[in-house]
């Protein structure tokens, strides 16, 4: 589970995440020491003249922290906490911005917009801010041929994204039937697997009926941030029927001379095996004898220590009685 997903799950427990907010993208990248502006738009169902808008920051393993808020109808934000000197907020129509200057590693976090709806605080989906010395890297996308039919009549399509930074992508599957009609696959079973070895690999698995694979084509689209999605069509499986295999040659019956030669070879093969068994047995006996000797040495050493201890104790008692 990614940090973004974990943060969203946490917010779902303390409030709710609503479509009343929208962000330009799921993440932002900024170099250390530079400035970065993040934006949050509120839909028309919110009465801004009577609603305050808040910006929160969430770091892994820490509680939510409010860094800025807009009073009801305000066009300028008020900063809080350690962000006082480096943060400022502005408003244009229904878009509320948070700008951080002289960004450092402590600013790397997920930032959320929030507002009160009755007794419930509503949060946005959030923007993940990455602080780095580099730049964004688009993913390398690979699609794989449809798997063989499973016992339940299902088949699996795979689409993998790797080598991207930040390591957040969105997969979308589309299908095209024989009549040319296309549609997004939302009801079909989709799974994602994340592997973090030398590079992060995220694989999307689409499980579909075998009959649909035969009649439709499938396209995997990978969205990375605000860049244009990359789309790839999965290769069609080609059912090939191999011709009849060559008959296995039948070995002719051996001659009497060949039979005698085979018996000799079998005896020669058995001899090394017997020799290996004897060698293992000898090594085992040697190991047991060596362990017994070690045990005896330890017992002898302990006995000597006990005798020396008693002797020293007796000498001390004798010296004590003489001094009296």
* Domains 21-132 and 140-233 fall in the same CATH topology: yes
- For the chain, what are the domain ranges? 21-132, 140-233
- What is the pLDDT averaged over residues 282-310? 81
Centre a 10 Å sphere on the Cβ of residue 202 and count the other Cβ atoms it contains.
Answer: 22
The pLDDT value given to residue 308: 84
For residue 137, what is the DSSP state? B
Q: Phi first, then psi: give them for residue 291, nearest 5 degrees.
A: -65, -40
By the 10 Å C-beta count (0-12 exposed, 13-18 middle, 19+ buried), 47 is classed as: exposed
What is the Cα–Cα distance from 168 to 4, expressed in whole angstroms? 9
Structure tokens at 272: 């090394």
> What's the length of the chain?
324
pLDDT at 244: 43
Token pair of 233, please? 């069509």
Provide the whole-model pTM. Answer: 0.53
What is the Cα–Cα distance from 84 to 19, expressed in whole angstroms? Answer: 29
48-57, 178-187, 271-280: lowest mean pLDDT where? 271-280
Q: Which residues contact 65 (CB under 8 A, 6 or more apart)?
A: 56, 57, 58, 59, 81
Highest-scoring range by mean pLDDT, 10-24, 77-91, 267-281: 77-91
141/135: higher pLDDT: 141
Q: For residue 154, what pLDDT is reported? A: 85
**Measured distance CA(17)–CA(13) in Å, rounded:** 10
What is the CB neighbour count within 10 angstroms for residue 131? 20
Confidence of residue 296 (pLDDT cuts 50, 70, 90): confident
Q: d(Cα 132, Cα 143) in Å, to the nearest integer?
A: 30
Interatomic CA distance for residues 163 and 154, integer angstroms: 30
Q: What CATH topology corresponds to 21-132?
A: Immunoglobulin-like (2.60.40)
Among residues 20, 18, 52, 56, the alpha carbon closest in space to that of 38 is found at: 56
Question: What band does 278 get if pLDDT is binned at 50, 70 and 90?
Answer: low
pLDDT in tens, 161-211: 998 888 888 899 998 888 888 888 876 688 888 888 788 899 999 888 888
The reported pLDDT for the residue numbered 144 is 85
Determine if residue 129 is left, alpha or beta; phi over 0 gives left, psi from -120 to 50 gives alpha, anything else beta: beta
Contacts 24+ apart (CB under 8 A), 293-299: none
What tokens appear for 77 in the block? 């934000």
Give the per-residue pLDDT at 19: 56
Among the ranges given (69-73, 108-112, 133-137, 216-220), the one the predictor scored with the smallest mean pLDDT: 133-137
Rounded Cα–Cα distance for residues 232 and 108 (Å): 33
> H helices within the chain, ranges in order?
3-14, 210-215, 256-323
* Mean pLDDT on 221-229: 84
Position with higher pLDDT, 38 vs 177: 38
- Confidence tier at 7 by pLDDT (50, 70, 90): very low
Report the distance separating Cα 137 and Cα 158, nearest Å: 22
Query: 140-233: which CATH architecture?
Result: Sandwich (2.60)
Question: What pLDDT, on the 0 to 100 scale, is given for residue 248?
Answer: 47
Distance CA 253, CA 190 (A): 58
């Amino acid at each position: 589970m990614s940090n973004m997903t974990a943060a969203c799950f946490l917010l779902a427990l303390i409030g709710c995440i609503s479509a009343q907010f929208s962000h330009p993208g799921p993440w932002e990248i900024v170099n250390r020491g530079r400035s970065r502006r993040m934006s949050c738009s509120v839909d028309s169902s919110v009465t801004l003249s009577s609603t305050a808008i808040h910006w929160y920051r969430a770091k892994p393993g820490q509680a939510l922290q409010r860094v800025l808020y807009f009073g009801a109808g305000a066009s300028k934000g008020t900063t809080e906490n350690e962000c006082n000197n480096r943060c400022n907020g502005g408003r244009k129509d229904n878009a509320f911005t948070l700008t951080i200057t002289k960004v450092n590693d402590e600013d790397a976090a997920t930032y959320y917009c929030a507002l009160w709806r009755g007794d419930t605080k509503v949060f946005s989906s959030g923007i993940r801010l990455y602080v780095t010395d580099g730049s964004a890297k688009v993913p390398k996308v690979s699609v794989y041929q449809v798997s063989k039919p499973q016992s339940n009549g299902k088949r699996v399509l795979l689409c993998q994204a790797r080598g991207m930074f930040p390591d957040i992508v969105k997969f979308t599957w589309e299908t095209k039937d024989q009549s040319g009609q296309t549609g997004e696959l939302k009801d079909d079973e989709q799974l994602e697997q994340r592997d973090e070895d030398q590079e992060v690999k995220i694989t999307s698995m689409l499980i579909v009926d075998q009959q649909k694979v035969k009649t439709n084509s499938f396209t995997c689209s990978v969205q990375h941030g605000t860049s244009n999605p990359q789309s790839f069509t999965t290769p069609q499986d080609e059912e090939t029927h191999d011709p009849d295999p060559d008959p296995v040659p039948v070995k002719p019956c051996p001659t009497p001379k060949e039979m005698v030669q085979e018996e000799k070879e079998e005896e020669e093969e058995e001899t090394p095996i017997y020799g290996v068994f004897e060698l293992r047995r000898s090594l085992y006996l040697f190991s047991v004898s060596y362990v017994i000797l070690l045990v005896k040495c330890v017992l002898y050493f302990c006995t000597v220590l006990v005798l020396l201890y008693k002797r020293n104790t007796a000498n001390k008692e004798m010296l004590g009685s003489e001094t009296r």
